[in-house]
């Protein structure tokens, strides 16, 4: 009887296969497994207003959590709007005391952090960066900068040629930083030069206890229309990073230096000086734009009435890809200008740079 029953079941199996094709069987298992995996890797961000975001938490830094979602793309949320975070997959966490936790899950609730299977919890403010870049963990340097060139060629009633070059670059590690700058302007009208100047500087900063650093600067400039063939400044300085948030970044340094000035017609001179620089920026206008201010000052200690100030006021905003537009006002003041040269020189620029 059992054999007949088994035969009956066996005889009905082809009919079953005609209803459920063989190729659907592995597909069902594969689809089920994929759905379970997809659900398992979803990160969550719970907001204080009760909203729940599901996606992939990419990073958390400078008080902002970044999450990639399927429904709204990449979202940036201020940490003070976040009630809780759950990242079940392994991430890298950099704490404020420079401790690095690798291959750890992360969850946050009620202002406390839980990492992996640790029984210990941490205050939320102890989190510095989620998924930090290698340089932030002491591995190599981060290279950032921008470079642009503007060229104008006009022929007709007036023949005009203009060439402007602008380069700013920095190499940063957790220990030190290198900075380089070059700007130049060469303009002609009817084959007569109307501008011929350039500036360049190299800086090295060594970080002490945060946020202080020491460094050295080599600054060289030339301006034929101010009778300046070359001004060279070399010296050490002490600096401090007062603020380092996107809302306000502010650093300044002060030092002593030796200045050597060569003129085309006036008498050459060299003297000891005190020098300083200010670098400030802010994203207060939003939209990834930035307002910024830079100043370099040199004060002649042999002749205290001789002060030089290079000021740059600017507004930059992103274009397509990695292109950035900027409008700048340059005010160059030199109370020790040679006879026949104005103390204040004003320049207005609009440029497009490539940033990285």
pLDDT > 60? residue 4: no
- Mean per-residue pLDDT, 13-28: 47
What are the tens digits of pLDDT across the range 267-298? 999 999 999 999 999 999 887 889 999 999 99
pLDDT tens per residue across span 150-166 = 766 666 666 677 888 99
- Torsion angle, alpha carbons of 241, 244, 248, 251, to 10: 20
pLDDT score, position 3: 40
According to DSSP, the β-strands at 112-115 and 228-245 are unpaired
Distance CA 100, CA 170 (A): 25
119 vs 286, higher pLDDT:
286
Residue of 85, 76, 22 lying closest to 52 (CA atoms): 85
What backbone torsions phi and psi does residue 331 show, to the nearest 5 degrees?
-120, 115
Residue 101 half-sphere exposure, CB side, CA atoms within 13 Å?
21
pTM of the model: 0.75
Average pLDDT value over all residues in the chain: 84
pLDDT tens digit sequence for 186-226: 888 877 888 889 999 999 999 998 789 999 999 999 998 88
Q: What is the DSSP letter of 178?
A: E
Can you read off the two tokens belonging to residue 28? Answer: 């069902």
- Give the Cα separation of 355 and 169 in Å (integer): 10
Pick the CATH number of 142-355 from 2.40.160.40, 3.30.420.40, 2.60.120.10, 3.30.390.30: 2.40.160.40
Say if CB 101 and CB 92 are below 8 A apart.
yes
Query: Do 323 and 354 meet the contact criterion of CB atoms below 8 Å apart?
Result: yes
Q: Which residue spans of the chain are classified as CATH 2.40.160.40?
A: 142-355
Cβ contact 193:187 at 8 Å: yes
Instruction: Flag the least confident range among 95-104, 146-155, 237-246, 319-328.
Output: 146-155
The CA-atom distances, in angstroms, between 231 and each of 9, 76, 164, 197, 281 are 99, 46, 20, 12, 28
Q: What is the pLDDT of residue 15?
A: 46
More confident residue, 120 or 254: 254
């Amino acid at each position: 009887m059992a054999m007949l029953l088994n035969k009956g079941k066996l005889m009905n199996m082809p009919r079953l296969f005609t209803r459920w094709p063989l190729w659907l069987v592995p597909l069902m298992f594969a689809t089920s497994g994929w759905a379970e995996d997809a659900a398992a890797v979803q990160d969550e961000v719970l907001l204080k207003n009760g909203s729940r975001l599901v996606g992939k938490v990419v990073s958390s830094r400078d008080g902002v959590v970044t999450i990639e979602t399927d429904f709204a793309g990449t979202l940036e949320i201020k940490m003070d709007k976040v009630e809780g975070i759950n990242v079940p997959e392994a991430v890298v966490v950099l704490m404020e005391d420079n401790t690095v936790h690798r291959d750890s899950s992360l969850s946050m609730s009620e202002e406390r952090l839980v990492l992996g299977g640790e029984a210990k919890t941490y205050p939320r403010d102890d989190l510095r960066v989620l998924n930090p870049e290698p340089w932030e963990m002491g591995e190599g340097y981060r290279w950032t900068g921008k470079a642009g060139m503007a060229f104008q060629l006009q022929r007709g009633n007036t023949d005009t040629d203009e060439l402007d070059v602008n380069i700013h670059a920095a190499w940063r590690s957790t220990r030190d930083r290198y900075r380089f700058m070059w700007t130049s302007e060469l303009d002609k009208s009817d084959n007569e030069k109307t501008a011929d100047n350039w500036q360049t500087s190299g800086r090295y900063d060594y970080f002490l206890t945060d946020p202080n650093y020491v460094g050295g600067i080599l600054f060289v400039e030339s301006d034929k229309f101010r009778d300046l063939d070359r001004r060279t400044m070399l010296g050490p300085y002490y600096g401090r990073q007062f603020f380092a948030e996107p809302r306000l970044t502010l650093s300044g340094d002060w030092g002593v230096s030796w200045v050597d000035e060569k003129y085309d017609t006036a008498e050459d001179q060299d003297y000891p000086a005190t020098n300083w620089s200010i670098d400030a920026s802010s994203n207060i206008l939003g939209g990834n734009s930035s307002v910024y201010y830079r100043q370099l000052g040199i004060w002649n200690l042999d002749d205290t009435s001789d002060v030089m100030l290079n000021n740059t006021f600017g507004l930059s905003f992103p274009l397509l890809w990695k292109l950035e537009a900027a409008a700048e006002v340059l005010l160059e003041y030199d109370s020790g200008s040679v006879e026949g040269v104005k103390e204040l020189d004003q320049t207005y620029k609009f440029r497009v740079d490539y940033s990285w």
